Amino acid sequence: MTAQMTAGSAVDSALSVRLNSATRVSYSPRGAAGAAYAFAADVRADPGRVWTALTDPGQTAVYLYGLTAHSTWLSGDPIEFRLGDRTELTGRVLYANSRKRLSYLLRSGPDDPPTYVTWLLRPTPAGCAIRLEIYEVDDAGSPQEAEDVWRPVFTALRLLVNPT
């Protein structure tokens, strides 16, 4: 259901990237009203390199607006996203299968609706396919707003993991 987009910058062209735009989906997979968005790209890095970028606090800050992700990365365990010494987002690891899938929910406060985030990794002959799926409960935003938030995250992750 996502619309295919061709990255326009010289960097994206050099990376030979396929990137899907954010598309609002009308179904509700978790029984609450909301919106789902997906992004996908192929990178030259192997799934292990991408997994490390997703779970190492020193690397998450590079692509998550300076936020460092802290967790044991075991299903059911807490996760915190910190900016310096301040916790900005909290949540729970829903599923972690090293080098294949990482799912967690996060929220900015106890009364805020959760956002479900899933990173799917699949080895390819040239490296790895990455798919980012976002489900925002009670989301009143547009696909453009989701793209404005999540595309820079996705692009920065691609640049971090692609070897030169």
**From 15-24, 61-70, 155-164, the region with the lowest mean pLDDT:** 15-24
Q: Transcribe 39-50 into DSSP letters.
A: EEEEESS-HHHH
63 CB neighbour count, 10 Å cutoff: 20
Residue corresponding to tokens 């916790």: 87
User: How many whole angstroms separate alpha carbon 96 and alpha carbon 91?
Assistant: 14
Count of structural domains within the chain: 1
Q: Give the predicted TM-score (pTM) of the model.
A: 0.81
**87 contacts: CB under 8 Å, gap ≥ 6:** 80, 81
Cα 90 from Cα 105, distance rounded (Å): 8
Answer whether 77's CB lies under 8 Å from 93's CB: yes
Domain of 100? 4-161
Model confidence at 14: pLDDT above 60? no
Residue 145: the pLDDT is: 84
Q: How much is the pLDDT for 27?
A: 43
Q: Could you tell me which residues come within 8 angstroms of residue 17 by beta carbon, excluding any fewer than 6 positions away? A: 7, 41, 42, 43, 158
**pLDDT, tens only, 67-107:** 999 999 999 999 999 999 999 999 999 999 999 999 999 99
CATH number at residue 123: 3.30.530.20
Rounded CA-CA distance 53/160 in Å is 8
Residue 46 has what pLDDT?
95
The larger pLDDT score, comparing residue 79 to residue 143, is at 79
| Contacting residues for 18 by C-beta, under 8 A, at least 6 apart | 4, 40, 41, 42
Q: Which residue has the tokens 């829903």?
A: 94
**pLDDT tens figures, 108-132:** 998 898 999 999 999 999 999 999 9
